[in-house]
């Protein structure tokens, strides 16, 4: 079986084709969850799956499963996939690679007329990025039972549109109850989204674990007033009081290096007028660490600091946790299967702890799960210049192919 390889050129062409839907001026992709562009991207992937002879199922949160039958339909499918929604300034590979690598695996099996014992399914999950709706990784969260369907349906974007309405509008409000879909094992191929593999000149990252993360929405309340007549010493400037909190988010991450992470990535200022002192600021807080105890310590420090700012400045500050994912350790057999496949195929490999969240985190609750990383140029992701080499895309898909075959079995 080691001589069976995917076609990297075909996979690359597929990625470039999908990237035309929502293409940005800088060569990236903006395809936010449940928009018209997301609908077009979903349909493009489904059309490709239909050409490969796969059957399609969509559940009530819009997760879509593309199935290649096995010789034993009683066996739970071996599943692979990721997502096709992107960041506002996203790239061609984040998420998309995992879905299209899965379809390339299927096409390779078709090319070689290989029948597996267990069915194989490729899935794309709804709203993994969390850019338009929170919580992040919504589709796999609902599928795993970690997020209720009603909670997901009620989530709104900044225009007040909710998830259920948008699923219905784009035609992806499926009928299957999330979770009523067996899974024998789950593998996810992904660009690393960091610089480790490239810096170490290594082709395959074997992912033993994912950092835990906490997402918060912080709202600082001040009092809007005219920027000219109002003296500095009596202002209740929500933005200036927010800046100290934002800086502290970065500071606590630095206190717990090298794995600590702290980011403020989204800010909304009200009334957002040039000559009005800001009366309210809402911003996101993202903190991460692979150690559960340290992540809890970082959270405690953040809450204590915010309480102190509120007391010292006599201003109201609301802190709401919107997502929490504890550190995740993947299945030992899946990890060793990925490592063996990389070694058998002659690819250099190393263990890499993921700093980013992935749908695999939720799938780990339901079935043996593993992740495969490949390098991305300069470690850049969530950026329009995100890039990866064709030979690395091919290598990751080859490891995915042989890892799936190890679990699905070849029918004799």
For the stretch 321-380, pLDDT in tens is: 998 888 999 999 999 999 999 999 999 999 999 988 899 999 999 999 999 999 999 999
* DSSP per residue, 105-147: HHHHHHHTTPPBSS-EEEEEES-SS-SSSSSSSHHHHHHHTSS
Q: What is the mean pLDDT of residues 7-12?
A: 98
Q: What is the pLDDT of residue 50?
A: 98
* Dihedral angle over CA of 147, 150, 155, 159, nearest 10: 160
DSSP state of 382: S
* 211-218 mean pLDDT: 94
Alpha helices of 147-280 — where are they, by DSSP H? Answer: 149-154, 163-170, 196-199, 238-255
Asked if pLDDT for residue 411 goes beyond 80, the answer is: no
Q: State the average pLDDT over residues 165-188.
A: 97
Residue 152: predicted pLDDT: 98
For position 325, what pLDDT does the model report?
83
Looking at residue 412, what is its pLDDT? 59
The pTM of the full predicted model, rounded to 2 decimals, is: 0.83
225 cis-preceded (ω within 30 degrees of 0): no
Q: Mean pLDDT across the stretch 201-216? A: 95
Cα 326 to Cα 163, 259, 355: the distances in Å are: 25, 14, 12
Cα separation, 203 vs 224, in Å, equals 54
Q: What is the mean pLDDT of the chain?
A: 96
**Number of helices followed by number of strands (H, E) in the chain:** 12, 15
Domains of the chain, residue spans: 8-211+327-408, 212-325
**CA–CA dist 217, 282 (Å, integer):** 7
Average pLDDT over residues 159-187: 97
pLDDT band at 392 (very low <50, low <70, confident <90, very high): very high
Of the candidates 233, 159, 195, 190, which has an alpha carbon nearest to the alpha carbon of residue 370?
Answer: 190
Band of residue 1 on the pLDDT scale cut at 50, 70, 90: low
- CATH node for 8-211+327-408: 3.40.630.10
Q: What is residue 6's three-state secondary structure?
A: coil
pLDDT in tens, 294-331: 999 999 999 999 999 999 999 999 999 998 888 999 99
pLDDT of residue 356: 87
Nearest to 237 by CA among 250, 225, 253, 251: 225
Summarised one tens digit per residue, pLDDT across range 14-42 is 999 999 999 999 999 999 999 999 999 99
- Model confidence at 93: pLDDT above 80: yes
3-class secondary structure per residue, 38-69: HHHHHHHHHHHHHHCCCEEEEECCCCEEEEEC
Task: With cut-offs at 50, 70 and 90, classify the pLDDT of residue 2.
Answer: low
Average pLDDT in the 271-284 region?
Answer: 98
pLDDT tens for 50-85 read: 999 999 999 999 999 999 999 999 999 999 999 999
For the record, the structure tokens of 292 come out as 């559960």
Please enumerate, as own/partner, the contacts of 306-310 that have beta carbons within 8 Å and a separation of 24 or more: 306/218, 306/245, 309/241, 309/244, 309/245
Mean pLDDT of the 285-302 span? 95
> Nearest to residue 150, comparing CAs of 161, 162, 158?
162
Q: Which two tokens stand for residue 149?
A: 């369907």
CATH for 212-325? 3.30.70.360
pLDDT at 127 over 80: yes
Over range 184-193, report the average pLDDT: 98
């Amino acid at each position: 079986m080691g001589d069976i390889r995917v076609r990297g050129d075909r996979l690359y062409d597929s990625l470039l084709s999908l990237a035309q839907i929502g293409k940005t001026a800088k060569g990236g992709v903006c395809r936010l969850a449940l928009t018209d562009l997301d609908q077009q991207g979903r349909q493009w992937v489904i059309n490709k799956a239909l050409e490969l002879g796969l059957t399609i199922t969509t559940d009530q949160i819009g997760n879509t499963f593309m199935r290649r039958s096995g010789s034993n339909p009683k066996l739970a499918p071996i599943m692979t996939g990721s997502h096709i929604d992107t960041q506002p300034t996203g790239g061609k590979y984040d998420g998309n690679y995992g879905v299209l690598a899965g379809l390339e695996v299927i096409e390779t099996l078709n090319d070689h007329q290989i029948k597996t014992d267990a069915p194989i399914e490729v899935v794309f999950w709804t709203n993994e990025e969390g850019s338009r709706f929170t919580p992040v990784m919504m589709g796999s969260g609902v599928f795993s039972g970690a997020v209720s369907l009603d909670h997901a349906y009620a989530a709104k974007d900044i225009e007040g549109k909710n998830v259920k309405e948008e699923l219905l509008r784009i035609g992806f409000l499926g009928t299957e109850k999330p979770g009523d879909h067996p899974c024998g094992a789950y593998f996810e191929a992904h660009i690393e989204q960091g610089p480790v593999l490239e810096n170490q000149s290594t082709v395959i990252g074997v992912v033993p674990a994912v950092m835990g993360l906490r997402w918060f929405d912080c709202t600082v309340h001040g009092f809007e007033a005219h920027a000219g007549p109002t003296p500095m010493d009596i202002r209740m400037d929500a933005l200036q009081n927010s800046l100290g909190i934002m800086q502290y988010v970065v500071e606590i991450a630095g206190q717990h290096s090298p794995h600590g992470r702290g980011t403020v990535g989204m800010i909304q200022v009200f009334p957002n007028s040039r000559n009005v002192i800001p009366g309210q600021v809402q911003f996101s807080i993202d903190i991460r660490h692979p150690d559960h105890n340290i992540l809890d310590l970082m959270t405690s420090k953040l809450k204590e600091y915010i309480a102190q700012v509120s007391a010292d400045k006599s201003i109201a500050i609301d802190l709401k946790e919107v997502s929490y994912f504890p550190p995740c350790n993947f299945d030992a057999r899946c990890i060793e299967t990925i490592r063996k496949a990389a070694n058998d195929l002659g690819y250099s490999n190393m263990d890499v702890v993921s700093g980013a969240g992935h749908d695999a985190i939720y799938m780990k609750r339901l079935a043996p799960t593993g992740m495969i990383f490949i390098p991305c140029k300069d470690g850049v992701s969530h950026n329009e210049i995100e890039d990866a080499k064709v030979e690395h895309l091919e290598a990751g898909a080859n490891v995915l192919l042989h890892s799936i075959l190890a679990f699905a079995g070849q029918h004799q």
